[in-house]
């Protein structure tokens, strides 16, 4: 029950006071329970459809409201990600609305970690003055805005920074999927395909865990595939929780997935199991790639990956035979989203392997989803800001990175160099999560202006000159969310309860008012409702209807499987040979690339990943989620027993983890489920903000050990190019 303030007892008291009091002390359980049910029934429960903000999936939710307070959530049955179910984070994160640790009013920094309240008007005025001064002195290239792109921000944030003349809009993908996105984009013309899992016969997951990095409907689809006899292979240096549904686990040496995919591609060609007709019709450059593949034999890959040549050959042949209903799932962050120097090339090789299976836009294969056709504001009445005539910072260094997302950590690098002067962070804990926190702190301290817009005192907020308090997602309306997929649709986040803290404001209002203070209010001369109405216009759905239903799918607009769309690559085909890569100074065909660093006999590689009960740093301060961590010691790092024995370490021991960047102490879980070369660090502990009373002091700050770095292809953070030594300490 979410509504912690109203306990069962006080609730019953309030609603059926006389009846309950009259029976108190003498009532049987049945009587008591009947009274309770009656009391519940007599209170009106409003059900408001909206969307979760517990992670980037933004599943559909139904908020149940009793006595004006959020009472409980359930999964929206029509939303394609929830399909009636929510994960633990979805339920738990909703308690944020009543958290004691929220930011309740605008704050101005008056010293290290010290803040004073400031009025909204004064905060806007001071921020605007400082932004305009920076623009006057250094030009608009010296200002930036970074976020996790969710519904409203996706439209308002780039527009806001562009209204000020700057293209410097960035997203968290630099530590998420920048590498995969770049690899897929220049190969298939999209940063990610989706997977028709439930109809697939042979599914390989390379560092993607449906069982940990949960989206409820993905787990359901995988269970359906399993029930219909699909082979499910997990490639992961640790046995993740998708293991419950898998037929095979390949405990790969971390950082060597590229070698595995190259060798499997080699086998497809050698065994003539690639889809030659598909490749002739829909691809360019296959000959060059096939020549390059010649040397990547399974025996060569065995040496690098630790997976036997026989197993590589067997799986490649079986996948080739099962085509087109076989696929490597497109992955997200795990193996090649942002981790290694070879991550972009791994992304490219995975996209190409799927093309060799001819599974693109096929049942049981990789899908280019359809998008709903939405409208826009009338640009005569609501002028768009002019597009700056220069590219965003980072583009020159990383032209292959997906431009819309950019390379967010370039802001920190340029702050160090004195080129960047201002950074706005909305819905982002960049200071702790995007790069080495020591580096990020130093970089942010060099800026003339840092603004954080958050709901709690994150590490990034602590480094800000001004903190602007957003309302929580339970208390706000947002921009319509496009749902792309086999069947496109739309979803709306809407206010479930009135705002709890009167001085908080929703982001659309914050941007509008700040733009007005900066003198560019003309670009925000509309309300969120007007914008939503304009977006809905071509769909035939009314705003009222959308508010009532929350999620609306368009089955008549479903994509037709078996029909290849024209791709958005320069050649409009799958590019086995990429001129874009060549122009950027890289090999036009995929080649093997070594990871930057490798552990020795006495050291380990740090790897990381999700736990089903947390989302990055944003859930660490949620008591009912953090309690699960505490109850099960989930913050422990994982070590293989063979290595633990060598080091005299036993399960549960306190150990010291030392890298080139930091030293930490943490308890260890000794388990066969992790590769001997790797230490697995669950995400996302090691909160340092004193204001997050529940989160502070639990576990281990992964990013503290990660050297600040950019992968050469996509600019992503290389966050697993980290070597550590571990020793037992007394404790």
Given the rule CB under 6 A, which residues bind ligand MGD? 53, 55-56, 148, 172, 175-177, 206-209, 212-214, 235-238, 240, 252, 254-255, 257, 331-335, 337, 426-430, 433, 453-456, 458, 470, 472-473, 607-612, 614-618, 680-681, 683-684, 702, 720
Q: How far is the CB of 659 from ligand MGD (least distance, A)?
A: 13
Cα–Cα distances in angstroms (integers) from residue 643 to residues 299, 638, 646, in the given order: 26, 11, 5
Q: How far is the CB of 85 from ligand SF4 (least distance, A)?
A: 8
Binds 451: which of ligand MGD, Mo ion, ligand SF4, none (CB < 5-8 Å by kind): none
Binds 232: which of Mo ion, ligand MGD, ligand SF4, none (CB < 5-8 Å by kind): none
SS3 category, 186: helix
Beta bridge pairs of residue 375: none
Binds 458: which of ligand SF4, Mo ion, ligand MGD, none (CB < 5-8 Å by kind): ligand MGD
Instruction: Record the tokens describing residue 275, joined without a space.
Output: 């889809």
Q: How many CA atoms lie within 13 A of 137 on its CB side?
A: 12
From 166, 282, 165, 262, select the one nearest 206 (Cα to Cα).
Answer: 262
Binds 90: which of ligand SF4, ligand MGD, Mo ion, none (CB < 5-8 Å by kind): ligand SF4
Q: How far is the CB of 154 from ligand MGD (least distance, A)?
A: 13
Tokens 């609305």 sit on residue: 97
Answer for the pair 102, 456: CB distance below 8 angstroms, yes or no.
Answer: yes
Q: H or E stretch including 73?
A: strand 69-75
How far, in Å, CA of 64 to CA of 49, rounded? 9
Which CB atom, from 49 or from 406, has the smaller least distance to Mo ion?
406
Q: How far is the CB of 499 from ligand MGD (least distance, A)?
A: 12
Contacts of 78 (CB under 8 A, 6+ apart): 60, 549, 550, 551, 552, 553
**221-250 mask for Mo ion (x: CB under 5 A)?**
------------------------------
Q: H or E stretch including 117?
A: strand 114-117
What's 345's DSSP letter? H
Instruction: Record the tokens describing residue 212, joined without a space.
Output: 């940990």
Answer for the pair 200, 323: CB distance below 8 angstroms, yes or no.
Answer: no
Which CB atom, from 214 or from 723, has the smaller least distance to ligand SF4?
214
How far, in Å, CA of 410 to CA of 388, rounded? 18
Q: How far is the CB of 46 from ligand SF4 (least distance, A)?
A: 20
Binds 86: which of ligand SF4, ligand MGD, Mo ion, none (CB < 5-8 Å by kind): ligand SF4
Which CB atom, from 201 or from 684, has the smaller least distance to ligand MGD?
684
Q: Kindly tell me which residue out of 2, 12, 48, 59 binds ligand SF4, with binding defined by CB under 6 A.
A: 59
Q: How far is the CB of 180 from Mo ion (least distance, A)?
A: 10
Determine, following the binding rule CB under 6 A, whether residue 58 of this chain makes contact with ligand SF4. yes
Q: How far is the CB of 512 from Mo ion (least distance, A)?
A: 29
Which CB atom, from 208 or from 596, has the smaller least distance to ligand MGD?
208
Which CB atom, from 363 or from 693, has the smaller least distance to ligand MGD?
693
How far, in Å, CA of 297 to CA of 295, rounded? 6
Determine, following the binding rule CB under 6 A, whether residue 214 of this chain makes contact with ligand SF4. yes
Beta-strand pair 466-469/481-483: unpaired
Q: How far is the CB of 711 from Mo ion (least distance, A)?
A: 16
Q: Kindly tell me which residue out of 97, 123, 142, 176 binds Mo ion, with binding defined by CB under 5 A.
A: 176
Q: How far is the CB of 61 from ligand SF4 (least distance, A)?
A: 7
Binding to ligand SF4 (CB under 6 A): which residues in 61-100? 81, 86-87, 89-90
How far, in Å, CA of 74 to CA of 492, rounded? 16
How far, in Å, CA of 182 to CA of 192, rounded? 9
Q: How far is the CB of 701 from ligand MGD (least distance, A)?
A: 8
Binds 59: which of ligand SF4, ligand MGD, Mo ion, none (CB < 5-8 Å by kind): ligand SF4
DSSP states along 404-471: TT--TTHHHHHHHTT---EEEEES--HHHHTS-HHHHHHHHHTSSEEEEEESB--HHHHT-SEEEEBP
Cα angle 207, 208, 209; round to 5: 115
Cα angle 131, 175, 140; round to 5: 20
From 473, 490, 523, select the one nearest 375 (Cα to Cα).
Answer: 490
Binds 302: which of ligand SF4, Mo ion, ligand MGD, none (CB < 5-8 Å by kind): none
Determine, following the binding rule CB under 5 A, whether residue 94 of this chain makes contact with Mo ion. no
Q: Kindly tell me which residue out of 15, 49, 50, 57 binds ligand SF4, with binding defined by CB under 6 A.
A: 57
For residue 656, which phi and psi values (nearest 5 degrees)?
-105, 130
Binds 52: which of ligand SF4, Mo ion, ligand MGD, none (CB < 5-8 Å by kind): ligand SF4
Which CB atom, from 67 or from 484, has the smaller least distance to ligand SF4?
484
Which CB atom, from 237 or from 599, has the smaller least distance to ligand MGD?
237
From 499, 458, 446, 454, select the one nearest 476 (Cα to Cα).
Answer: 499
Beta bridge pairs of residue 483: 489
Instruction: Record the tokens describing residue 516, joined without a space.
Output: 């007005």
Binding to ligand SF4 (CB under 6 A): which residues in 563-622? 615
Instruction: Record the tokens describing residue 474, joined without a space.
Output: 């339970």
Instruction: Record the tokens describing residue 449, joined without a space.
Output: 């202006």
Instruction: Record the tokens describing residue 139, joined without a space.
Output: 């030009």
Binds 429: which of Mo ion, ligand SF4, ligand MGD, none (CB < 5-8 Å by kind): ligand MGD
Which CB atom, from 166 or from 617, has the smaller least distance to ligand MGD?
617
Q: How far is the CB of 25 from ligand SF4 (least distance, A)?
A: 41
Answer for the pair 538, 373: CB distance below 8 angstroms, yes or no.
Answer: yes
Answer for the pair 592, 259: CB distance below 8 angstroms, yes or no.
Answer: yes
Q: How far is the CB of 652 from ligand MGD (least distance, A)?
A: 21
Which CB atom, from 448 or from 475, has the smaller least distance to ligand MGD?
475
SS3 category, 365: coil
Which CB atom, from 19 or from 612, has the smaller least distance to ligand MGD?
612
Binding to Mo ion (CB under 5 A): which residues in 320-349? 333
Q: How far is the CB of 338 from Mo ion (least distance, A)?
A: 8
Q: Report the interface residues with Mo ion, using CB under 5 A.
A: 176, 333
Q: Report the interface residues with ligand SF4, using CB under 6 A.
A: 52, 54-55, 57-59, 81, 86-87, 89-90, 214-215, 615
């Amino acid at each position: 029950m979410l509504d912690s303030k109203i306990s069962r007892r006080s609730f019953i008291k309030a609603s059926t006071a006389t009846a309950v009091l009259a029976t108190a002390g003498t009532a049987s359980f049945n009587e008591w329970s009947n009274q309770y049910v009656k009391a519940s029934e007599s209170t009106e429960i409003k059900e408001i459809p909206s969307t979760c903000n517990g992670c980037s999936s933004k599943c559909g939710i139904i908020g149940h409201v009793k006595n004006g307070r959020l009472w409980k959530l359930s999964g929206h049955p029509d939303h394609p990600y929830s399909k009636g179910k929510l994960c633990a984070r979805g339920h738990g994160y909703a308690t944020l609305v009543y958290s004691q640790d929220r930011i309740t009013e605008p704050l101005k920094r008056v010293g290290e970690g010290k803040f004073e309240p400031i009025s909204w008007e004064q905060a806007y005025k001071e921020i605007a003055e400082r932004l305009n001064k920076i623009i006057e002195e250094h030009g608009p290239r010296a200002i930036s805005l970074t976020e996790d792109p969710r519904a409203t921000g996706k439209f308002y944030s780039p527009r806001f920074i562009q209204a000020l003349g700057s293209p410097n809009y960035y997203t968290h993908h630099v530590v998420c999927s920048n590498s995969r996105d770049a690899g897929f984009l220049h190969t298939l013309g999209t940063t990610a395909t989706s997977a028709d899992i439930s109809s697939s016969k042979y599914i390989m997951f390379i560092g993607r865990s449906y069982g940990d990095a949960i989206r409820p409907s993905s787990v359901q689809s995988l269970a359906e595939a399993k029930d219909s006899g699909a082979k499910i292979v997990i490639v992961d240096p640790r046995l993740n929780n998708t293991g419950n549904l898998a037929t095979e686990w390949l405990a790969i040496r971390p950082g060597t997935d590229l070698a595995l995919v190259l060798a499997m591609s080699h086998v497809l060609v050698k065994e003539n199991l690639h889809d030659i007709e598909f490749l002739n019709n829909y691809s360019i450059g296959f000959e060059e790639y096939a020549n390059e593949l010649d040397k990547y034999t399974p025996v060569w890959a065995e040496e690098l990956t630790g997976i036997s040549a026989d197993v590589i050959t067997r799986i490649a042949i079986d996948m080739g035979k099962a085509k087109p209903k076989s696929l490597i799932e497109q992955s997200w962050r795990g193996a090649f989203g942002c981790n290694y120097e070879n991550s972009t090339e791994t992304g490219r090789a995975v996209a190409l392997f799927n093309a060799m299976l001819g599974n693109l836009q096929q049942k049981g294969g990789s899908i280019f989803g359809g998008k709903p056709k939405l409208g826009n504001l009338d640009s005569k009445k609501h002028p768009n800001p002019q597009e700056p005539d220069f590219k965003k910072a980072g583009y020159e260094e990383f032209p292959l990175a997906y431009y819309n997302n950019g390379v967010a950590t370039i802001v920190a690098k340029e702050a160090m160099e004195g080129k960047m002067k201002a950074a706005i962070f909305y819905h982002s804990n960049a200071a702790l999560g995007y790069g080495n926190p020591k580096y990020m702190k130093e970089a942010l301290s060099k800026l003339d202006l840092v603004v954080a817009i958050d709901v709690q005192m994150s590490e990034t907020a602590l480094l800000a000159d001004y903190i602007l308090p957003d309302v929580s997602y339970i208390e706000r309306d947002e921009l319509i969310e496009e749902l792309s997929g086999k069947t496109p649709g739309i979803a709306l986040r809407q206010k479930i309860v009135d705002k709890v803290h009167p001085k908080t404001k929703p982001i659309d209002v914050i941007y509008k008012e700040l733009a007005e203070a900066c003198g560019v209010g003309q670009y925000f001369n509309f309300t969120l409702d007007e914008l939503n109405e304009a977006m809905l216009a071509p769909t035939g759905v009314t705003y009222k209807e959308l508010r009532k239903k929350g999620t609306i799918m368009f089955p008549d607009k479903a994509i037709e499987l078996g029909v290849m769309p024209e791709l958005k690559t320069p050649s409009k085909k799958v590019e086995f040979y990429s001129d874009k890569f060549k122009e950027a100074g890289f090999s036009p065909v995929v080649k093997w690339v070594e990871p930057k660093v490798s552990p020795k006999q006495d050291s380990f590689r740090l790897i990381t990943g999700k736990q089903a009960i947390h989302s990055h740093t944003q859930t660490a301060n949620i008591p009912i989620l953090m309690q699960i961590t505490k109850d099960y010691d989930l913050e422990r790092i994982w070590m293989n027993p063979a290595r633990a024995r060598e080091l005299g370490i036993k399960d549960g021991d306190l150990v010291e983890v030392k890298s080139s960047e930091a030293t930490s102490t943490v308890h260890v879980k000794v388990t066969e489920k992790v590769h001997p070369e790797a230490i697995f660090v669950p995400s996302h502990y090691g909160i340092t903000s004193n204001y997050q009373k529940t989160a502070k002091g639990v576990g281990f700050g992964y990013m503290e050990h990660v050297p600040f770095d950019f992968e050469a292809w996509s600019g992503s953070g290389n966050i697993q190019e980290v070597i550590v030594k571990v020793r037992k300490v007394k404790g």
